[in-house]
Amino acid sequence: MKRGVLLIAVLAIVAAVSLGIFSGASSPTISSGSKAPMFTLKDVWGKE
């Protein structure tokens, strides 16, 4: 049971990060949960 929950959580995080990168603008629900990672990812992608 724990493995399934962990897998879903990881997939959700990966999906949220991917959507933030591809759309270029993270939705409020995603950014409120993980502001630092999303902004750091955007900064890295923006510089490259």
Instruction: Give the angle 16-44-40 at the CA atoms, nearest 5°.
Output: 55
Cα 30 to Cα 11: distance, rounded to the nearest angstrom:
14
pTM score:
0.39
pLDDT at residue 42, rounded to an integer: 57
pLDDT in tens, 1-48: 788 888 888 888 887 777 666 555 544 544 444 445 555 555 656 655
Say how far apart CA 22 and CA 35 lie, in whole Å. Answer: 17
Alpha-carbon dihedral angle through residues 35, 40, 43, 47, given to the nearest 10 degrees: -170
What is the C-alpha separation between 26 and 28, in angstroms, rounded? 7
